């Protein structure tokens, strides 16, 4: 059985840096997205329920707090977990931490909805999907 959270490790490369020598703020969006992809890879039961392609997870809000700089050569750990499931949206919480000392580099909360791609509208989170998602919530 998969863990309730997903943890990946990324190395900061030169192309992640801005003119000041630390990770550009926009690159954290990519790090966080990579963490979410890994989360869904590790929780195939979510994708299995949505099999058929007519419903998609769609981000509607993202809030990021930047705590400290990360620089080239550092390894970062991206931790992703489902934090809350509502009736029409859910929230994932993510943290980016330095591997060497576990210091928090940034944290983020992403709200997403289930989008009916045929009708281009959000649908309720219910049934088997809701049951699976509620079991994955980390307080």
Position 137 scores a pLDDT of: 96
How large is the average pLDDT for residues 8-15?
Answer: 97
Q: What is the DSSP string of 17-72?
A: B-TTSSB-TTHHHHHHHHHHHHHHHH-HHHHHHTTTSSEEEEEEEEEEEE-S---T
- Report residue 94's pLDDT band, with 50, 70 and 90 as the boundaries: very high
How large is the average pLDDT for residues 109-134?
Answer: 92
- 5-136 placed in CATH 3.10.129.10: yes
Contact 40, 47 (CB under 8 A): yes
Euclidean distance between CA atoms 133 and 139, whole angstroms = 13
How large is the average pLDDT for residues 72-93?
Answer: 97
Residue 17 has pLDDT above 60, yes or no: yes
18 is catalytic: yes
The DSSP bridge pattern shows strands 104-116 and 5-11 to be unpaired
């Amino acid at each position: 059985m998969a863990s309730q959270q997903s943890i990946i490790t990324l190395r900061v490369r030169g192309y992640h840096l801005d003119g000041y020598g630390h990770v550009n703020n926009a690159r954290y969006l990519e790090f966080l997205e990579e963490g979410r992809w890994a989360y869904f890879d590790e929780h195939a039961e979510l994708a299995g329920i949505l099999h058929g392609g007519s419903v998609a997870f769609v981000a509607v809000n993202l809030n990021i707090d930047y705590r400290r700089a990360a620089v080239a050569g550092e390894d970062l750990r991206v931790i992703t977990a489902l934090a809350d499931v509502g009736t029409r949206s859910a929230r994932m919480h993510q943290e980016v931490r330095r591997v060497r000392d576990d210091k928090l580099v940034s944290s983020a909360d992403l709200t997403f909805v289930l989008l009916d791609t045929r009708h281009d509208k959000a649908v309720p989170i219910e049934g088997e999907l809701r049951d699976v998602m509620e079991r994955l919530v980390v307080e």
